[in-house]
Structures are given as C-alpha cells and as structure tokens.
Amino acid sequence: MNSIAEHIADFLKEYPPFNHLTFQELSEIATSIRVVNLEKHKILFQINDVLHDSFYVVASGVINLSVIADAEETLLNKCHVGDIFGLRPFFAKNNYMMTAKAREESIVYAIPIATFRPFVANNSEVLNFLLQSFATNTPNPKDKENSRGKLISDNVYYSDQQSEMQYFQSLNYNNSPLKTIITSTVIEVAQLMTETLMNNVIVCDNNMPIGIVTDTDMRSKIATGRFPLTASIDKIMSSPVITVQENVSLAEAQLLMLKHNMTHLCVTQDGTNKSAVKGIISERDLIIAQASNPGVLIKEIKRSQSPKDLKQIRERLADLIQNSISKNIPLSHINNIASEINMALIKRAVELSILELGSPPARFAWLSIGSQGRKEQLLLTDQDSILIFEDVIPDKYRDVKDYFLKLGKKTTVTLEKIGYELCPNGHMGSNMLWCKSLTDWTKQYNSWMNTPGENSNDLSSIFFDYEIAFGEQKIEEAITNTVFKNAQNNTLFFDFLGNDALRKNAPLTFFKNFNVEEEGPNKNKFDIKTRALMPLIDGARLFTLNYNIRGINNTYLRFKQLAITDVKNSEIYLNCAEAFLILSKFRTLEGLKNDDSGQFINLNELSKIDKEKLKNALNPMKELEELIKSKFQLTQFS
C-alpha cells in the first residue's frame, strides 16, 4: 500500500464511523480516496448541483455548510477535522440541498460511494452512524457530550431540513400490487405486466412473498436469452424479498434499498416474509415522497392566504409528530422540526395581518415567549407573545402604538383560528401591556430585574424565554443585552428567581407516591407540567442567565450547554436534560391521546413499567434543587 493511502487510513481510524472498520478494510478504502485541496472560500458543491459520486471527510481546515432561505444565506453547520458531510448521494437521488464552502484553506478526503457502499451494507454500526449524520447533520450523533461544543448553535439540527424531515415521514405506496404464483411462466407474467402497465410483480406462495420480478429482470435475463420465455418465473425472480412494515418511514425505506442494493421493498402485514403482502414500495415512491415533506410544509405556509389554509397545515403537523413519536425518533429532533413549523405559522399570521393593515409605521419585532420561545411546543398550547416597536417621536407614539395593537389583535385572532388558544393570562402582543416601544420594554425589564420583589406579581419567568418570529433581529438583541446586563451580579434577582424555581410542589410525596390533584376536573391525575417540567425549565433558565449563556432558550439544550460550562456539576445537568426529554414525551403522548395540552397524566392508564420510568425521571430534580440552594445560598424561605 502506498504511503499516502496508509496516512489516510491512519487518520480515518480515529473518527467514527471509520473506527468501526478494521485497518485492513480502511486500507482498501483509502487507496481509492481522492485528496481535494480547497483554497479559502472555494465552493466544493452548491445548492442544486448534481450529486457527486463521493462523500467527504474534513482532513484539515473548516468547511461551512449553508442554505439559502428567504434570499439570505444561513450557516447551518461548521465541519471540523474528522467530520463527515455531503452524504446526500448515499440516500437521495435529487441534487444537493446545501452549499459546502471552505472557510479557510482546507483539505478534504473524497470517498467514492461505490467503494464504501459494501462496507455500509455489512456493518450496521456504520450504517446507523451515516443515517443519523444524514438525518441531523450533527457531526457525531454518538458523541453525546459533544466536547467540541457543537451543540452551542442549536440550529445544527436543522442542517439539511429536507433530509431530517425524511427521517420521519410516512410513505404512500402502491397497496394493490401485482401478484403471481411460482408456477407461472415468464411469458404469462410478461403479458400480465404489460396489460396492467406495472413494472414489477410479487411472486407469492399462499399470499406470502417469496420473490419479486421487475422490468430489469425481464431485460437482463430474458431479452438477453439467458432464460427462455417458457421458464417458470422462479428462475428469474430475485429472492428473498426485502420486507417492511406498513408504517415504514422514507429514510428507513431508503436505507434498506441502499443496504440490499434493491429498487423495491415489499410491505407485509407484520414486516416479515411470513405474513400477507400489503403493498410494494418502489424507488419512484421515495422520490415522490421527498417532494411532500415538512420542508414543503414550510413552503406551503409561506404561500398560504388564509387562516383556514394555515389550520390545515397545523393539523398535518400533528400527524407528523404522532408518526415521529411512534417511530421512536428522538424527541429533540421532533421538537426542532415542530418549532420551525410553528414559527413559520406565527410568522405567516403576522404577515397576513400586515397585508390587511398596510405597512407598519415603524420597525418592530414579534417575539414568541414561553414554550414556543423555548422551541418546546409540540402540542397545541395557548399562544404567548410580546410586540416591541422601535422608538418614535412623542407626537407619533399614539398612532404607532394604535397600529401595532391592531396588528397584535389581528394576529392573535388568526392564531386562534389556526388552533392556538388565547393566553388566559393575556400574555399576548394584542394586550396594551405587552405591546410597547423598545424604551418602554427596556424599562420594564430593568424594573422586573432590579426590584423583583415589588413587581413580582406581573413578573412571569416566561418573559425570559423568547424567540423572534417576525421582524427586526436588532430589537431582539437589544432586549437580550438588557437582560444580561441586568443579570450581572444581581443577587436580588437570582434570589427571587431561585425561590420561584423552588416554590413548585414536590412531584412525589414523602412515601414516594405521585402528588396528584386532590379536587376539580383533574382529580387524581398528575400535573406533569407544574410539578415535573416547570422545575426543570425554571432551573435551566436560572443557571443559563447566571452563567451568561446567550441565544439558547431550549431547556434540553440549556442543560447540555450548562454541562459544558459548569463541568463539575455536568452529571446533574445531563441527568436533567435526559429527564426533561422523558417527561416531555409522557406529556406529548398524553396530549396526542386526548387532543389537549397533555398537562394532566392519568396514572391509571400507565403500565407498571411506565410508572417506574416516570418516577425515575423525577429523581434528578432533587439534585437540581440542592444545586440551586447551594449556588444561590437559598433556604426555601429566603
């Protein structure tokens, strides 16, 4: 083996998924690898380019991956040494959906897919790694702690939105496939395929699949004279058939075709070849499905003209969430996708109001606060928002505020029609209190944070979880600067927030039973929102503000980031992150089942295992509580 190939194999064996291969296998791959030198800002491939025959690993330097959305370029991910990118040709037939560009002088290794494919097919570790990388485009899905801090930018997750969405999507396929029996002759089957205009047929025994014949088999085995037309069909069929269950997702189907080098999959009742045939999935079905994924939902939202259109899309999102959960897709992924779609819906609601009212008289920002601001709104919960407009001269103030109150009112009405209930506490941009100028908002935050005891009755901690849905980014940044400036060494504020976080009732009684509601419509149910999720949400927010961690609002990602920032307590934070996902999943399942916000869990409907799982997820809260008390020197009654 030449020394360059040896050097490449040595390099690759340090990084996943290559570390799952033997040195012998790596050496074999390394001999066909191309070394690509890229100058600074050189583009390797861009959106809509035809797919290359290779995927890439960064050997030195940094490669930026970006997409163009709304006419501006958005950086999705930075790939550092050892990171894999450009996996699209493995899993898809259409063109690139993002641009890869060298951020500095870089060297990448181009690994030919044809060379690498057999190693994928024979090694499930490698296959799973590639699939997860493709689905999330995070550098290394196995590397939970992500020491390089890649999680800092939480939009790493949306990297190639289209591809991630495919991971979840259910497929439409032919559910009345052409079938034949093993004793049929080739000529009979060929006539049948011609009459029905089908390019494939499943060979069955007792309605169970034993083989498949496609146009390609007819061409390569019959037209070439290898077998006579009178041969029985089993002579030319491909066997065994690769079978899948009915609710297979797009990505799973793509993987199986890739793994077995097949163009068709057979759908059976239980996913094995020992049960009845229900349908057939072709490569063409996959290509069609790629056109109707949630990336497309977002495009549809942008084109929608009425609340009715938007409501239909919101209902399709509920199906998507349900499907994703049933396929055990990680909740953090589902959250990201749902929040992107929710945000697009809110943004469109604001745009429709502007189309009706005419151009705004000043620049402004519509911020989602609370669960949507934290990107945790999987279920239809109430809407929480604030509206901030830029400062205007005193003479104009009233007219400007009038316009924005009207805008707030129209938008909240539209959102209500889409299915987001009005906030019972009135935390909405249509409320005089929460629609005001930047200076007024700055004063509001100053007063909340510097004299929290006096104004505590209207200080809701959800005002510290916000995400811009529409408008001027600089306005959001100005609020963030105010918040973090006031937070510095502000003992009074942290004392207040800390006690607020500790005030929630314990989720378990002294005897380790669930603390359930004692009266009212939810009697004997467990309030998972107030007793389990809120203490984690409050704790994550408290520490994030205290450690000056900006730009991360999501509770799960806040805990992941805290584990990097405050290393000595990292275990507590990581346990809390995990607990938060488990509890959120319980809440989501309850909400999907009852078509509500999932706040109250009916414990009688949980299995014994689920009850244990729920109880165990409450354990990290005690540690978090102790950490809050010691960090902010709080007794419960300070």
CATH code for the domain of 93? 2.60.120.10
Same domain, 524 and 616: yes
Are 541 and 371 a contacting pair, CB within 8 Å? no
Does any domain span residue 246? yes
Side-by-side strand order, sheet with 63-69: 43-45, 99-102, 63-69, 72-79
Distance CA(459)–CA(453), nearest Å, equals: 9
Same domain, 332 and 452: yes
Average pLDDT over residues 445-459: 75
* b/e code 278-289 from CB counts within 10 Å (16+ = b): bbbbbeebbeeb
Average pLDDT over residues 126-149: 50
Output phi, psi for 111, to 5 deg.
Answer: -105, 115
Q: Which of 620, 601, 619 is nearest to 610 (CA)?
A: 601
Same domain, 194 and 262: yes
Q: For the segment 70-82, what is each residue's pLDDT rounded down to a tens digit?
A: 555 667 678 889 9
Distance CA(286)–CA(254), nearest Å, equals: 7
Out of 24-33, 286-295, 397-406, which region has the weakest mean confidence (pLDDT)?
286-295
Is 634 or 245 the better-scoring residue by pLDDT? 245
Out of 14-28, 84-98, 391-405, which region has the weakest mean confidence (pLDDT)?
84-98
Cβ neighbours, 10 Å, residue 614:
20
Q: For the segment 348-387, what is each residue's pLDDT rounded down to a tens digit?
A: 999 999 999 999 999 999 999 988 899 888 877 788 999 9
Q: What is the pTM of this model?
A: 0.60
The pLDDT, as a whole number, for residue 257 is: 81
- Is the pLDDT reported for residue 153 higher than 60? no
Which token pair is 221?
């085995």
Same domain, 283 and 309: no
Output phi, psi for 56, to 5 deg.
Answer: -130, 150
* b/e code 128-141 from CB counts within 10 Å (16+ = b): bbbbbbbbbbbbbb
Same domain, 358 and 452: yes
Please, what is the angle between helix 491-502 and helix 619-631, to 10°? 160
Does any domain span residue 159? no
Same domain, 476 and 508: no
Give 635's pLDDT tier (boundaries 50, 70, 90). low
Same domain, 456 and 578: no
Q: Which of 557, 528, 530, 533 is nearest to 543 (CA)?
A: 557
Are 442 and 481 a contacting pair, CB within 8 Å? no
Give 446's pLDDT tier (boundaries 50, 70, 90). very high
CA 389 from centre of chain: 31
Containing 35, the helix (H) or strand (E) segment is strand 34-38
Same domain, 284 and 309: no
Distance CA(169)–CA(292), nearest Å, equals: 9
The pLDDT, as a whole number, for residue 169 is: 59
Can you name the residues that pair with 127 across neighbouring β-strands? none
Are 324 and 334 a contacting pair, CB within 8 Å? yes
Same domain, 331 and 430: yes
Given 432, 458, 480, the domain boundary residue is: 480
Q: Which of 386, 345, 395, 349 is nearest to 365 (CA)?
A: 386
Same domain, 115 and 192: no
Same domain, 475 and 514: no
Does any domain span residue 559? yes
Q: What percent of the chain has pLDDT over 70?
A: 88
Given 119, 135, 154, the domain boundary residue is: 119
- Is the pLDDT reported for residue 143 higher than 50? no
3-state DSSP of 284-349: HHHHHHHCCCHHHHHHHHHHCCCHHHHHHHHHHHHHHHHHHHHCCCCHHHHHHHHHHHHHHHHHHH
Can you name the residues that pair with 36 across neighbouring β-strands? 108
Residues 6+ apart with CB under 8 A from 524: 516, 517, 603, 604
Domain housing 621: 491-631
**Burial degree of 306 (CB within 10 A; 0-12, 13-18, 19+):** exposed
- Is the pLDDT reported for residue 91 higher than 60? yes
Does any domain span residue 587? yes
CA atoms within 13 A on the CB side of 623: 15
Does any domain span residue 99? yes
Q: What percent of the chain has pLDDT over 90?
A: 53
Distance CA(278)–CA(270), nearest Å, equals: 10
Is 633 or 54 the better-scoring residue by pLDDT? 54
Does any domain span residue 164? no
CATH code: domain of residue 469:
3.30.460.10
The pLDDT, as a whole number, for residue 430 is: 83
State the chain's maximal CA–CA distance in angstroms. 93
- Please give the tally of structural domains in the chain: 4
Average pLDDT over residues 288-298: 63
- Is the pLDDT reported for residue 319 higher than 90? no
Sign of CA dihedral 162, 164, 168, 173: positive
Does any domain span residue 346? yes
Give 408's pLDDT tier (boundaries 50, 70, 90). very high
DSSP 471: E
Cβ neighbours, 10 Å, residue 595:
10
Does any domain span residue 153? no
End-to-end CA distance of the chain: 71
Given 290, 323, 348, the domain boundary residue is: 290
Average pLDDT over residues 219-235: 91
Same domain, 475 and 513: no
Give 638's pLDDT tier (boundaries 50, 70, 90). very low
Triad 19, 20, 25: Cα angle to 5°: 90
Are 120 and 130 a contacting pair, CB within 8 Å? yes
* Alpha helices (H) in 504-600, listed in sequence order: 528, 534-546, 555-565, 570-594
CA atoms within 13 A on the CB side of 372: 26
Distance CA(150)–CA(129), nearest Å, equals: 17
The pLDDT, as a whole number, for residue 26 is: 93
Distance CA(404)–CA(398), nearest Å, equals: 10
Can you name the residues that pair with 60 across neighbouring β-strands? 107
Distance CA(281)–CA(177), nearest Å, equals: 9
Provide the mean pLDDT of the chain. 85
Distance CA(460)–CA(475), nearest Å, equals: 20
CATH code: domain of residue 208:
3.10.580.10
